[in-house]
Amino acid sequence: MKKIIYLVPTLSLVGCISQHVEEKPNVIVILADDLGFGDVSAYGSTTIHTPNIDSLAHGGVCFTNGYATSATSTPSRYALMTGMYPWKNKDAKILPGDAPLIINENQFTLPKMMQQCGYVTGAIGKWHLGMGDGNVNWNETVKPGAKEIGFDYSCLIAATNDRVPTVYVENGDVVGLDPADPIEVSYEHNFEGEPTAISHPE
């Protein structure tokens, strides 16, 4: 009987240990255009004060050595998401606002890897990797997009604030879309009656 008494507490302890799950650290990647290594105060800048970024940095890991595969937007973003050199994809160049998604939906990506490790993933801000299939109707759900390459949530601008459409796209849908005022975007043709820099150089 003594053996059973000793065995039961031991099994209970093993059960408690196996139920303890180590928490995964939060992972936040900040990717910004035209931001130098020494531009934030966490890395020593005295000109620009970035207290919120500093708080994240001091509570986490700071990288002090990194390499860019390309010193411009779309190619750098493509490389970060795919782990591939951007020159291996002829479409990984500066994209217009109506460009199709340049990452194949079947490609293994950084957010898909994070999902496999049990993370919930999100992308917020400038996207510049294309959305849709190249013939985007911004008045409907736009896909493929961030969800198809591994993001559970997204709130994005398609390209940049100076390339139309300058709207936020949340989980594939334009935020605040008004059906009475549909979005029309064309990088191929001018809208009738609208002046252009070519027709009105002044």
Listed in sequence order, the residues at least 6 apart from 170 whose beta carbon sits closer than 8 Å to its beta carbon are: 154, 155, 156
Question: Phi and psi of 171, rounded to 5°?
Answer: 50, 40
77 within some domain: yes
Residue reference for tokens 């493509």: 78
Residues 75 and 173 in one domain: yes
What is the structure's pLDDT at 19? Answer: 54
In the three-class reduction of DSSP (H, G, I as helix; E, B as strand; rest coil), residue 94 is classed as coil
What is the structure's pLDDT at 134? Answer: 85
Q: Tokens at residue 67, please?
A: 């390499």
pTM here? 0.81
Domain of 39 in residue numbering reads as 27-66
Residues 93 and 162 in one domain: yes
145 within some domain: yes
Listed in sequence order, the residues at least 6 apart from 56 whose beta carbon sits closer than 8 Å to its beta carbon are: 28
Residues 39 and 94 in one domain: no
Residues 77 and 177 in one domain: yes
In the three-class reduction of DSSP (H, G, I as helix; E, B as strand; rest coil), residue 156 is classed as strand
Burial status of residue 45 (CB atoms within 10 A of its CB: 0-12, 13-18, 19 or more): middle
Residues 78 and 164 in one domain: yes
Q: Average pLDDT by consecutive 10-residue portion of the chain (202 residues)? A: 43 46 86 85 90 92 82 93 95 92 97 97 97 93 97 95 91 96 86 77 78
In the three-class reduction of DSSP (H, G, I as helix; E, B as strand; rest coil), residue 152 is classed as coil
Residues 47 and 129 in one domain: no
Residues 86 and 34 in one domain: no
Q: Of 186, 175, 157, 169, whose CA–CA distance to 98 is shortest?
A: 186
What is the structure's pLDDT at 196? Answer: 76
17 within some domain: no
Rounded Cα distance, 141 and 136, in Å: 9
153 within some domain: yes
Q: Give me the torsion for CA of 10, 11, 13, 17, rounded to 10°.
A: 140
Q: Of 152, 150, 146, whose CA–CA distance to 172 is shortest?
A: 146
- When divided into structural domains, the chain yields a total of 2
What is the structure's pLDDT at 193? Answer: 76
Please tell me the chain's helix, strand, coil percentages from 3-state DSSP, rounded to the nearest 5.
25, 5, 65
Residues 107 and 172 in one domain: yes
2 within some domain: no
State the first-to-last Cα distance of the chain, in angstroms, to the nearest integer: 99
Q: Give me the torsion for CA of 187, 84, 125, 164, rounded to 10°.
A: 0
Residues 86 and 150 in one domain: yes
Residues 91 and 129 in one domain: yes
pLDDT tens digits, residue range 185-197? Answer: 888 877 777 777 7
Residues 60 and 108 in one domain: no
Residues 95 and 48 in one domain: no
